[in-house]
Structure formats: C-alpha cells, structure tokens
Amino acid sequence: MTARRRDILLSLGFAALLALVPLVFSTRYIISQITVFFIWGLVVTQWNLVLGVAGIFSLAQMALFAIGAYGTAMLAYYVGLPLLAAMPVAALVTVAASLLIGFACLRLKGAYVALLTLAIAQVIYLIVVNDTACFTNPPSGCLPLFGGVRGFSRFGDLGFRELLGSKFYIGHYYVGLALLLAAQVFCIVLIRGPLGLAFRALRDNPGYAMSRGVGKLRYQLWVFGLSAFFTGLAGAFYAANFGVVGPIVFSVSMLLFLLAMIVVGGMGTVWGPLLGAALLMAADEGLREVGTFREIGLGLVLAVFVILLPRGIAGLARKTEAGGPASRAGTGRKQVADSSDAI
Amino acid sequence: MSLLEIQGLEAGYGAQAVLRDLSLEIVEGSFAALVGPNGHGKSTALRTVSGLVRARAGLIRLAGERIDRLRPDQIVAAGIVHVPQGDMLFPEMTVLENLRLGAYLPQAATHAANRLEEVFALLPKLAERKHQVASTLSGGERRMVGIGRGLMAGGRILMLDEPSLGLAPIVIDQIYDIVQRLAASGRTILVVEENAMRIAEMADRMHLMDNGRIAWSGPGSEFLSRPEILSAYLGG
Amino acid sequence: MEIFVQVLASGLTLGAMYAVSTIGLALVYGALNMLNMAQGALLAFGGYVCFYVMQQLGLPAPVGVLAAMVVGAALGLTIYLMVARPMLASPAFETQIFIATIGIGSVLQSVILQLFGPQPKAQPMTLPGGVSLGGVVVPWQNILILAVAAAMLAGVAWLLGRTRAGLAIRATAQSREAAQLMGIRIGRVYAQVLALSGALAALSGIMVSSLSGLLPTMGADPMLKAFVICVVAGLGNVPGAAIAALLLGILEAVIQYIFGVQYAFAILLALVIGVLIWRPYGLFGKRQVVRL
C-alpha cells in the first residue's frame, strides 16, 4: 500500500470515528470544543503546506483566515447573502488576496517573505481597527465598513437552529468535520503527489530541479493559492460557527498558538499539525486555571520545541520508523528514503 | 620529523562520510601535495584540519600536540594557516583590510608591519591595489590576496586549497611561481591540486587520495616516472 | 515654513528612534542570519527597566538609561546562549531561530505584563519644554532623542570601523568561514552582537516610550517598522539601515501630515512593497553576500 493510500484511508477512519462522537457524548461543551479543533485543524494543515512543504515562510495565514471570516460576515451583513453562499465566495476572495500577496512576496528570500507577510497582516489589522468612520448606523450603533474594534455580529447562521433546534451545534460539528476531512485529503494528495515531489526536489537539489524545469515560484504560487482556499473557508466557517467576527482573529497570541501547534506536531509532516493542534488544545484546556501564564507557557513551548525537537513529535515517530528494518538500504538509498519520509 | 600528523581521520557532512580512515604525515619544511579526483575528500581533509569540519574519529597532531578537539580559532593560533578554496575574501573590505585580518591574532599582530612588507615584496601587485575593495579585483588578484592574507598569519604550515582553480593558464603559472618561492624559503606547504602531473613537478611528496583515504604516497619524481600510479587511481 | 519645520522635526525624531533599534537588528542579521523576533519585547523591557529605576527606586535618569541598557544586553546575551547557540549548526537555522524568538518575545512580554500590569504608564525619562525654531516649538525631548541617537550611531560606527571587536564583527558578517580561518572566535562575536543589539533595543524602547508611554505591547509596532526598514535597506546592511531609518521616519511624518495617522503605516508598506518589486534585495542591497 502506498503512503498516500494509507494516509487517505487513515483520514477516512479518523473521520468515521469522529462522526460517531456526537452519538456518544452529547455534551454541548465537548462537541463545541471539537468543532473549534476542526477550525484550527483546517488552518494548521494549510499553513503547514505553505510553511513546511512549499517552504514559504508566510505569516499572513491568519490574515487570510480573517479575510475568509470578514468576507463571509460582510457578504451576509451588507449584501444579505445566505451564509452557505457567502462562505465559498469569501474563500475565493481569500484565494485572490493570497495570489496578490504571493506575487508581491514570493520572489524574495525566506526571511524577507516572513517579514513582509507579517507586515501585510499588520496593515490589514490596522485598517480594520483604525477605520472609525461610520459606514452604516444599525440600531446597535455606528458601524465602520470593516466593523472597527467591535466587528460584526448578527449576520445569519447556517440554518441548523431551524433544523435541529437547541442541538444546532451538532450540525456545525459535522460541517467542520467534513471541511477538515476535505482539507486533510487535499494535503495528503499534495504532499504525497507530484507537487510534493517537485518541492522535495527543489529542497534537496535546487539546481538540478530548476534545470529540469521545476519552476519554484510557479509551484509556490499554486500551493499558496490552493491552501488559501481552505484557510479562507476555515475563516468563513469560524464566522458561521461563532456568529461573531472581530479583530481578535489578528491577535499575536492566536498566531503564536497556531504556529506552536505546527512546530510541536512536526512541521512538514502529514499528521504533525493535527496532532499538535489536538495536544495544544488539550493542554490549553488543562491550563485554563492558570490563565495568566498561558502566554508564557505557549512561548516557552514554542522555543523549547524548536531548540530541542525541531522536527516535532511526528519527527520523533519518523526517526524510530526510519531506524526499523523496513528502511534498511544502502547509504545512498537511505538519504532518499529519509527525505521522502520527511514530508 | 613530521610537523603535521593525521591518523585514522573520519569526517563528513550530515549522514555522509567523506573521510574514511585518512592517515597522512607532513614533514617540516617539505612541499607536499594532496591530489586526486573531485569529490574524494581533499578539501574536506583541509577543512577538518583547520576545524571547520568536526572530526568524528581519528586524531590530528601539530608538532606533537593534538589539535583535533580545538575550535578553529585555537587551531589558527596553534599555527595552521588555511587558504580556502575560492579565496573567501572579505568582499567589502580593501586589500589592506583583508591582509590585516590575516594577522588578527595577537601573536601575528606584533609582526604585522614586517609581514606586510614581505607580502608586498612577494606580491607587488597587492601593494598597487591595497586600497581597492576586494570584490572588484580580478580572479588572479583575489587569489594573491588570499595567499597574502594567509602569509600574514605566519603559522607553521601553509595549506592551500586548489590555488589554480578557475584561473587562466598564464595566471596559474604566476601563482605556482609564488608557491614555489615560498617552498624554497623553507616554509612547510600542503597544496590540494586537481592537476596531479603539474604539481608533481614541484612537490617533494605526493599523496594520492581515493575515496576518503590515501591510496598512494611517494616522492613527486617517482609519481612522474610511473604513469601507472595515476591511471590505477585516476584513469579508472 | 512652519509646517516644514514641524514635519521635519517629527520625521527626524521618528527616524532617529527607528535607526537605533534597526541597526541592532541589522547587525544581528548580518552576523548570524538571525531575525530576532524578540526585539520588540526587548524594547519594552528597556522602557520598563528605566521606568522602574527612576520611578520606583527614585534614581536619576542616567542610571535608569544605563540600567536598561545593561539589562537589554544581558537579555540579548541570554537569547544567544540559550536559544541561538544550540541551533547554530542546523541547516534550517534561519527558520528555527525566527520561530523560537517569536516564542521568547511572547514570554518576555508576558513577564512585563505580570510585573507591571496592563495599564499604560508614563515614562519618567522626559525633558519638559521646548525651543522655538522658525516659529515652531520643537520639544526638548525630540532634540534629546535626536542627540542621543546621533551619539549612539556615531558610537556604533566607531566600534565597527575602528576597533578590533568591530573588525571581527564585520569580518564574520562578510564571510563566516574566512573569519574563523583568521582566528576570530565567532561564537564570541555572536554573543557581542546580540548583547549590543539588546542594549540598543533598550535605548530605543526608552525613546519610544518617552513619546508614547509604556505598554507591555509597545515594542511590536517599532519592531515591525525596524524590520521593514532593514528589508528596504537590504537585510544586514548596517549603514544602509541607518540611512533608510531616517528616510522612512521623514516619509512617515510627511504621510501622516497629508493622509492622517491611521493610514501612515499602510501607505509606507505599500511603498516598501513597491521598492522590493523594483529591487528584490533592498535599496542598498546587492545580489550577493553584501552585508556590513
């Protein structure tokens, strides 16, 4: 069985198990928390593609997420689109935004990309927060075009309240599960497919890959754009799930939390980001009591993992796997096996 | 007696081993050459001696003292001078600043004025160009700065990594003329060279490297008179 | 004329503050290829240490500034020893150190929050009054900032250009391996550079907070601007960074005057992106290893 097949089957298996959860535990808290996990899972799987696979040091992922969320809220609020229609449109807007950012940044070297994408995210945030001129005047008071500090609320829902009544959150749960499944399968296909191969070639031997016509910029734009679709969709679903969108999605601690998930789980691996998301969300839950030290803990986790375990927990598992009898090959071969495992 | 002594040296990059059980001795005052095809570890051997690459096994002694555990700066202080492949000048500094950096360590700095005169006497072109920025020099001039910078350090052994690399034939002649003059002055020299026949005419001793270890050692004259040595390892 | 003096004065003040923290970043990137994302927190730390020494301990201003710079240098050194040094040999160093310092920055910022609380505080290190220039009153505080920044830049230029330690720093930035072959102990160079950049960040933090007050998050904005300036100058280019900082400070003041404060950074950034599309290695950067 190929790795690709195995991973897709695993995804379906996990999804089937998760689909059973609401039948067993119907506590609203648990179901809602897992739904939040689906949202962050969507973001980190895509960010991982960009960061760990395509090697684009983008810090604009949360800005893209925000574009998806704000796009959905604004389309619903101003245009009156039903959320089900607003969500895919917002995701496409996110793709367009990502391509613009990509064209501006991707010709640059790694460190420059990180700084510019961070600055772009900051500018989007500043535009949202600093715009105080009233665009409309709903009963709740003055509302700037981008919602200002307060953000948007009351822009409709996915219709599960009518359908399921007080159990509407179970509807959200399944939508989130379906989106995450689609996103994860997309990641697997990409990582274990020709595009993933092209990136491995680019990373392991840039000169050779270039000479074989593997154009880095073009591939990077593809990955950046495609992953932006799911990132935007994650934002859109965030808006639908919570019914509120505000500037908190731009916060540094959110960025830190998600980045830590990828680093802890294992950057560039198929399952690492989801593993990291689950672990950090569980840890966050457990540390709720010591809330004031959350940031310190997160920062330390991030730093300590990068210093001591740069390939994350999934990287640890890979090491033991690679040491097993299955991958016993000549030294020349071993390198190839290693690098294909690394992704 | 042997000034530099390498025994059972192993080193490499990542999982890849480049040096496998390398052993070599360089006699004080001799002109030795390390030859062999590309990718067989000649440069890595020099880089391991100067500490840029960590040795995984084996030992390196300079005048009887072990240096394989030292930091690169300590190895320089011990007397190893390494003129790296491709010069590695400080591109935005002038020729003079580059040369001065060669005498960075305190023990070299005290002799800097005298040595600078010696370097300019040996390489008069550098005196003409001393205020020029290194990145604007020609290939041959850059090579001379690299060698001059090495001479500024003094040291006990001068290791030159492919001093002829990428130069026009007439410039190669000039560079090797300089190297031979240095050898004639009694300096211990170890040159890495691709062109084995050419260096064999000058070197006291040849060391042929094959796949990370020394395959054959002997006087340059013997190397020249026995073409089968070359074909056995390089003709392959 | 009055407007011109006003805009120029505020632009130069902004530029001077940016320059001090930007050259620190540029030095660190030049020597280690390290983007220190904890710089913003170091800035804030410096501001708060000065506040603590002057307000809480009641000591005079020079002691406060000195204490802040010493603490900044110590933090920079700690970041080198605990964070950067263990991963120096890694092939993905640039990415790893970036992420790790984001984490460290968050830790430091939270520590400030725990120690001093979230309320804004006034920086006691201020000079009252002003001087009349061409019909406009320029506050003494701005002039002090300019003077200190100018002295600091001159000091750094002297250090890099005229001292043995500076020579080693420049050599390491231009060719790490060649520097080692000259007998330079590059580990020590890295430590010095991070300590220096920490001290400069603290000083910059005092300047920034003397104008806009102390907040645990106060470092984020100046840090981002300092990075943008570094990018414009070409990462690691120290003299270029100083010039770009002054230029961008003045440009920001002009944009603020014409378009209003809230859009200044957005417009500045649009210009920067334009510059980078035109010259991908920065205004003063060359294609290759051009650093100090």
A15 touches chain C (CB under 8 A): no
Instruction: Report yes or no on A133 lying in a domain.
Output: yes
Position A107 scores a pLDDT of 76
Beta bridge partners of C132: C137
Tell me which residue of C208, C187, C165 sits closest to C68, measured CA to CA: C208
For residue C85 the two structure tokens come to 């040094």
**A271 CB contacts (<8 Å, ≥6 apart)?**
A7, A265, A314
Per the model's pLDDT, the better-predicted residue between A198 and A188 turns out to be A188
B95: nearest Cα among B147, B46, B131: B131
Alpha carbon distance C272, B94 (integer Å): 32
Cα C61 to Cα C65: distance, rounded to the nearest angstrom = 6
Q: What is the pLDDT of residues B149-167, one digit of tens each?
A: 999 999 999 999 999 999 9
- Nearest by CB to C235, which of A111, A256, A295? A111
d(CA B187, CA A294): 64
pLDDT band at C291 (very low <50, low <70, confident <90, very high): very low
> For the ranges A55-64, A178-187, A247-256, A288-297, which has the lowest average pLDDT?
A288-297
Residue from C98, C99, C248, C289 whose CB has the most chain A CBs within 10 Å, to mutate: C99
Of A77, A16, A25, A34, give the one whose Cα is nearest residue A241.
A34
B113 has a pLDDT exceeding 80: yes
Read off the pLDDT band of A343 (50, 70, 90): very low
Report chain C residues whose CB lies below 8 A from the CB of B82: 181
Strands B80-83 and B157-161, how do they pair? Answer: parallel
Residue A319 has pLDDT above 90, yes or no: no
Nearest-angstrom CA–CA distance, C96 and C84: 9
Determine the 3-state secondary structure of A329 from DSSP.
coil
Count Cα neighbours of B50 within 13 Å in the Cβ-side half-sphere: 30
Q: How many helices and strands (H and E) does chain C possess?
A: 12, 2
Contact in structure between B189 and B182 (CB atoms under 8 Å):
yes
Domain count for chain A: 1
Q: Among A278-282, B142-146, C230-234, which is the least confidently predicted range? A: C230-234
* CA–CA distance, A105 with A118 (Å, rounded to integer): 11
Helix (H, G, I), strand (E, B) or coil at A220: helix
Total length of chain B: 236
**Partners of residue C187 in chain B, C-beta under 8 Å:** 71
Range of weakest confidence among A138-152, C10-24, C132-146: A138-152
Contact yes or no for C102/C37 (Cβ under 8 A): yes
What is the pLDDT at residue C286? 54
Indicate the residue type of C118: P
* pLDDT tens profile C83-92: 999 998 887 8
pLDDT tens track for B190-215 = 999 988 888 999 999 999 998 889 99
Arithmetic mean of pLDDT, A88-113: 86
Q: What is the mean pLDDT of residues A245-254?
A: 84
Q: Choose among C94, C96, C265: nearest Cβ to A111.
A: C94
Chains with ≥3 CB–CB distances under 8 Å to B: A, C
Beta bridge partners of residue B213, listed in sequence order = B210
Record the tokens describing residue A248, joined without a space.
Answer: 């908190």
pLDDT over 90 for what percent of chain C?
Answer: 49
Give bridge partners of residue B81 from the DSSP assignment.
Answer: B158
How many Å apart are CA C180 and CA C187, to the nearest integer?
A: 10
Q: What sign for the dihedral angle of Cα C68, C220, A280, A153?
A: positive
At residue A119, the pLDDT reads 83
Mutant choice from A307, A338, A343 vs C, greatest count of C C-beta within 10 A = A307
Return the pLDDT at A78. 86
CA of C87, closest CA in chain B: separation in Å? 15
In a domain, A243, yes or no: yes
CA-derived radius of gyration, chain A: 21
Asked if residues A302 and C99 have their Cβ atoms less than 8 Å apart, the reply is yes
Is C98 close to A126, i.e. CB distance below 8 A?
A: no
pLDDT in tens, A60-69: 999 999 999 9
The reply to whether residue A126 touches residue C265, judged by beta carbons under 8 angstroms, is yes
Residue A23, in any domain of the structure:
yes
Average pLDDT over residues C92-100: 87
Q: A321: distance to nearest CA of chain B, Å?
A: 17
User: What does the block give as tokens for B33?
Assistant: 């050459």
Mean pLDDT of A155-170: 76
Rounded-to-integer distance, Cα A173 and Cα A18, Å: 10
C120: Cβ contacts below 8 Å, ≥ 6 apart? C213, C214, C215
Question: Sorting pLDDT into bands at 50, 70 and 90, what band is B13?
Answer: confident
Q: What's the CA gap between B133 and C20, in Å, rounded? A: 28
pLDDT at A324 over 70: no
**Is the pLDDT at C146 greater than 50, yes or no?**
yes
| Percent of chain A residues topping a pLDDT of 90 | 21
Cβ contact (<8 Å) for B52 and C181?
yes
Predicted TM-score of the model (pTM): 0.86
Of the candidate ranges A161-175, A299-313, C270-284, the one whose mean pLDDT is the lowest: C270-284
Please list every residue in chain C whose beta carbon sits closer than 8 Å to the beta carbon of residue B97.
167
- pLDDT at position B125 is 93
Q: What percent of chain B has pLDDT above 70?
A: 98
Chain length of chain C = 292
Nearest to C65 by CA among C144, C154, C156: C144
What is the mean pLDDT of the segment spanning B208-233?
86
pLDDT at residue number A291: 67
What's the average model confidence in pLDDT over C155-169? 92
Segments forming the whole domain that contains residue A135: 3-250
DSSP code at position B232: I
Domains of chain B, residue spans: 31-47+72-235
- Name the minimum distance, in Å, from the CA of B56 to any CA of chain C: 16
Token pair recorded at residue B10: 């192993």
- Angle value at C-alpha A264, between A263 and A265, nearest 5 degrees: 95
- Kindly give, in sequence order, each residue whose CB lies less than 8 Å from that of residue A57, ignoring residues fewer than 6 positions away: A51, A110, A111, A113, A114, A117, C95, C98
Instruction: Please say if the pLDDT value at position C268 is more than 90.
Output: no
The amino acid at C271 = L
- pLDDT higher for B204 or A146? B204
- Neighbouring residues of B198: CB distance < 8 A, sequence distance ≥ 6: B164, B176
pLDDT for A323 beyond 70? no
Name residue, tokens 């570890």: B41
Which residues, in sequence order, are CB contacts of A19 under 8 Å at separation 6+? A174, A177
Q: What is the pLDDT of residue C168?
A: 95
Sign of the dihedral through C-alpha C63, C69, C73, C74: positive
Alpha helical stretches, state H, A192-311: 194-204, 206-211, 216-242, 252-265, 272-286, 294-308
Q: Are strands B31-35 and B205-210 parallel, antiparallel or unpaired?
A: parallel
Instruction: Provide the pLDDT confidence category of residue A328 given band limits of 50, 70 and 90.
Output: very low
Burial class (CB in 10 A: 0-12, 13-18, 19+), B73: buried
Q: Which chain B positions have a beta carbon within 8 Å of A203's beta carbon? A: none
- φ/ψ (deg, to 5) at B140: -65, -40
The residue extents of the domains of chain C are 2-123+132-278
Q: Is pLDDT larger for residue C161 or for residue A337? A: C161
pLDDT digits (tens, 9 = 90+) for B44-87: 999 999 999 999 999 999 999 999 999 999 999 999 999 999 98
A130 in contact with B at a CB cutoff of 8 Å?
no
Pairing outcome for strands B57-62 and B2-13: antiparallel
Reply yes or no on whether the pLDDT at C60 is more than 90: yes
- As given in the structure block, the two tokens for residue B152 are 């500024």
CA distance A316 to A324: 13
Q: What are phi and psi of A246, to 5 degrees?
A: -140, 175
- Predicted ipTM beyond 0.90: yes
Q: Calculate mean pLDDT across residues C140-153.
A: 90
Confidence band for A56, pLDDT divided at 50, 70 and 90: confident
pLDDT at residue C64, as a whole number: 95
pLDDT in tens, A329-340: 333 333 333 333
Task: Give A103-127 pLDDT, tens digit per residue.
Answer: 878 877 777 788 888 888 888 888 8
The answer to whether C171 contacts B93, with C-beta atoms less than 8 Å apart, is: yes
For A150-173, what is the mean pLDDT? 78
Q: What is the mean pLDDT of residues A58-78?
A: 91
Residue in this structure with the two tokens 């006291």, named with its chain if needed? B204
> Highest-confidence range of A304-313, B55-64, C228-237, by mean pLDDT?
B55-64
Q: Rounded mean pLDDT of A211-236?
A: 84
- Using left for φ > 0, alpha for ψ between -120 and 50, and beta otherwise, residue A17 falls in alpha
Domain B31-47+72-235 classification at class level: alpha beta
Element (H, E) at C12: helix C2-32
d(CA C171, CA C188): 13
Q: Are A87 and A237 in contact (CB under 8 A)?
A: yes
Confidence band for A205, pLDDT divided at 50, 70 and 90: low
* Cα-based distances in Å from A72 to A29, A125, A157, A340, B161: 25, 17, 11, 38, 63
**pLDDT confidence of residue C287:** 45
Nearest-Cα distance to chain C for A50, in Å, is: 13
Residues sharing a CB contact under 8 Å with residue C189, sequence separation 6 or more, in sequence order: C31, C165, C168, C169, C172, C179
